[in-house]
Amino acid sequence: MSALATTKPVEAMEDDRIGELLEQRKGHPTPWFSFEFFPPKTPEGVEKLYERLAEMAPYNPLFVDFTWGAGGSTAELTLELTIEARRRFGLIANMHLTCTNMPTEKVVDALKSAKDAGITNILALRGDPPVGQERWEPIEGGFSSALDLVAYIRKHHDTFFSVGVAGYPEGHPNRIQQVDSLEGLSKAELGRVAVERAEDGTVTGYYVCRDNDFVQEIDYLKAKVDAGADFVITQMFFDAEVYVAFVKTCRSAGITVPILPGIMCFNTLQGFKRMVAFCRTRVPEKLWMDMMALSKSDDDEVRRYGIDFGVRLGQELLRAGSSGLHFYCLNLSRVALGIVSGLGLGSQSVDATYTNEKVESEIEKAMNGSDKVKSKEKALSNHDHVGAVASS
């Protein structure tokens, strides 16, 4: 029996299920929002994350979720954070679960431990290759895809868990390919093509998920939903029209579950550039030029811009019909809370004037050093973070 299976259950009632909460929020005049975090590498980082949760909980997110390291490397800590988010802060928690390098028995243990603790929400992901391994390969006796994981959860746990899955508005990064030019691309392909640029704006390449591959992506997403997924959380994107087109395509394919838009919070310029390059994300030209015009040595300036951009993107998504927003926080609070407050969301008991000046004045406390921020962003490649990596 694994160490995870021996984790002592907490005395707790079953948590609310996200699928049901999203259904209840349909037509609600006030949009919801949610936050995603990843397990820190050090005990000090864990305590800092608990401080973040204490700071962010009063804003009343619909839920928070915690990522799962490749091969279950953070299994116990992910479970602990999920439990403590509920116990200490009264937050509805969503636990990521991947099957990368995970034997079946380890998945069984993880689900049992979650169930024993009253955790009722799982984000089922394939996950990414472990560090140092370029391609994902299933292990003997393990699962081969998120679809297998969703089917297993439904077969063995029926409706106890509300199950979410990942969606890729621009196509899965593994299906995104380089093309020589924009000539010959369809209207849909032009709508999701990523233009690679140098810092001065010079175009250096084009990347796109071709239509045939995108159809397969949608078919696979529908298969995950048909297998029992209750909701979809998208990979990060920076163009609201990409999300709108994705939702329209999903609805046409018969995917009717809620599709939650994932918004990446900007904290450093280098972090932004790494994320974009890693995921081949479409970046509108104005956003790229705005970001390149910011000071490379002034992270405060990047965060102020990140709040402004996040508010504008959030407004576009809400106007387009999204009932809420999911934020990839990178374990930091300033930009996420700045966007939430800028949109007029959050608990009425919380000061909603989260201005740039307040961000600037508290930046040292919030960031705990820009070098640590950069290392956190770099470390995301070891996790199943939907907004940053290719988990399917």
pLDDT at 91 (0 to 100): 96
**Tell me: the pLDDT tens digits for 27-68?**
889 999 999 999 999 999 999 999 999 999 999 999 999 998
Q: Could you give the number of structural domains in the chain?
A: 1
pTM over 0.75: yes
In a domain, 268, yes or no: yes
Say what percent of the chain tops pLDDT 90.
Answer: 67
Distance CA 236, CA 38 (A): 16
pLDDT at 19 (0 to 100): 97
First to last CA, the chain: 28
**Tell me: the pLDDT tens digits for 81-122?**
999 999 999 999 999 998 867 788 888 999 999 999 999 999
Burial of 286 by CB count in 10 Å (0-12 exposed, 13-18 middle, 19+ buried)? exposed
In a domain, 373, yes or no: no
**Tell me: the pLDDT tens digits for 177-195?**
999 999 999 999 999 999 9
In a domain, 362, yes or no: no
pLDDT at 133 over 70: no
pLDDT at 354 over 60: no
Whether residue 51 lies in the annotated active site: no
CATH number reported for the structural domain that contains residue 220 in this entry: 3.20.20.220
pLDDT at 373 (0 to 100): 40
Strand ranges for the chain from DSSP E: 32-37, 63-66, 93-98, 121-125, 162-167, 177-179, 194-197, 203-208, 231-234, 259-260, 262-264, 324-328
In the chain, what is the greatest distance between 2 CA atoms, to the nearest angstrom?
A: 61
In a domain, 370, yes or no: no
Say what percent of the chain tops pLDDT 70.
Answer: 80
Write the DSSP symbol of residue 1. -
In a domain, 188, yes or no: no
In a domain, 366, yes or no: no
**Tell me: the pLDDT tens digits for 248-265?**
999 999 999 999 999 999
pLDDT at 102 (0 to 100): 74
pLDDT at 10 over 70: no
277 band by pLDDT with thresholds 50, 70 and 90:
confident
| Residue 226: how many other CB atoms lie within 10 Å | 13
Closest by Cα among 81, 163, 72, 77 to 120: 163
**Is the pLDDT higher at 382 or at 308?**
308
In a domain, 181, yes or no: no
In a domain, 12, yes or no: no
* Structural tokens at position 241: 């029209």
Rg (C-alpha) for the chain, rounded Å, is 20
Selecting among 36, 84, 170, 217, the annotated active-site residue is 36
Which range marks the domain in which residue 334 is found?
Answer: 18-175+211-348
What is the overall mean pLDDT for the chain?
Answer: 84
